[in-house]
């Protein structure tokens, strides 16, 4: 009888342990960049973790806020996410972590975990808002394995390419579409749209910003991102390169040294 009870107890414990081990821990994610979906004309934030790239479509205001946080830019007056950071600090609350918990009906859900006076507080939040605040406070961002299954698996070659960054002066570019032109108030109908600028990159030092549209390099027309890449990598004897861009509907000229190949 004791042997039977022992076997039953062992089996029950095995089931409990097996169920516990099946619930994998959330995966630490890095916010790589904010780009624009040319088919929808809407921003997408890209997160990477555990060999996967997770895209989440977000609103324009939240995208700008996340892009500013990635670039280390501060507004003259605080936006909503700056205000939340200030409120947390003045109340003595710490943003411990952000977890993207699930995808339901094509909508992602997230939870913010706060710590104050030894007490943990969990709050429901939109992933875009949660990430914007986390990037300002330095809090880690996680995604559950179930959510991460929605991402795209990266092979070694893709990971290395992303770690190296874009060859176009450290910025990510994409073809200008009619939808993107309306979004960024561009009056040109062709060009290479700057979707993201890495902090400290040659493009950043040159003064290029997210939303700029490159239309010429050394007087040569740029109709798309491929034209821009070819122009910047083409051999030249000139000591400077001249980029003509459109920003907020106005034309601007930028001058740079030729990029190293």
Is a pLDDT exceeding 70 seen at residue 236? no
Q: Does residue 92 carry a pLDDT above 90?
A: yes
pLDDT tens-digit readout, 47-72: 999 888 899 999 888 988 998 888 88
d(CA 110, CA 97): 11
Instruction: Return the number of other C-beta atoms located less than 10 Å from residue 220's C-beta.
Output: 13
CATH architecture of 27-160: Roll (3.10)
Sequence ranges of the chain with CATH classification 3.10.690.10: 27-160
Residue 79 DSSP code: -
List where CATH 2.30.42.10 sits in the chain.
Answer: 165-256
Of 45-54, 71-80, 85-94, 233-242, where does mean pLDDT reach its minimum?
233-242
What is the model's pLDDT at position 232? Answer: 78
In this prediction, residue 34 carries a pLDDT of 85
The answer, as to whether pTM is greater than 0.85, is no
Contact 139, 98 (CB under 8 A): yes
pLDDT at 261: 40
Residue 241 vs residue 96, higher pLDDT:
96
- 20 pLDDT higher than 50: no
- In CATH terms, the superfamily for domain 165-256 is PDZ domain (2.30.42.10)
Asked if residues 203 and 192 have their Cβ atoms less than 8 Å apart, the reply is no
| Start-end of H helices in 211-261 | 225-233
């Amino acid at each position: 009888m004791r042997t039977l009870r022992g076997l039953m107890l062992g089996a029950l414990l095995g089931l409990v342990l097996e169920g516990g081990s099946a619930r994998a821990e959330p995966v630490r994610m890095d916010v790589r960049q904010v780009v624009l979906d040319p088919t929808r004309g809407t921003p997408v934030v890209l997160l990477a973790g555990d060999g996967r790239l997770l895209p989440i479509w977000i609103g324009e205001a939240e995208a700008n806020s996340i892009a500013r946080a990635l670039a280390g830019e501060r507004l003259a007056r605080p936006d909503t996410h700056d205000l939340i950071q200030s409120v947390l600090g003045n109340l003595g609350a710490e943003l411990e972590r952000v977890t993207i918990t699930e995808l339901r009906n094509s909508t992602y859900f997230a939870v913010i975990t706060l710590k104050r006076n030894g007490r943990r507080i969990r709050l429901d939040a939109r992933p875009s808002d949660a990430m914007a605040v986390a990037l300002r406070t330095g809090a880690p961002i996680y995604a559950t394995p179930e959510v991460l299954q929605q991402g795209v698996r990266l092979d070694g070659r893709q990971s290395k390419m992303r770690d190296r960054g874009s060859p176009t002066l450290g910025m990510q570019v994409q073809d200008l579409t009619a939808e993107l032109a309306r979004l960024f108030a561009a009056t040109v109908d062709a060009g290479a749209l700057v979707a993201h600028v890495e902090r400290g990159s040659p493009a950043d030092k040159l003064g290029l910003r997210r939303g700029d549209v490159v239309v010429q390099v050394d007087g040569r027309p740029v109709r798309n991102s491929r034209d821009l890449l070819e122009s910047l990598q083409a051999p030249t004897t000139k000591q400077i390169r001249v980029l003509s861009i459109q920003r907020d509907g106005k034309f601007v000229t930028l001058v740079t040294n030729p990029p190293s190949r």
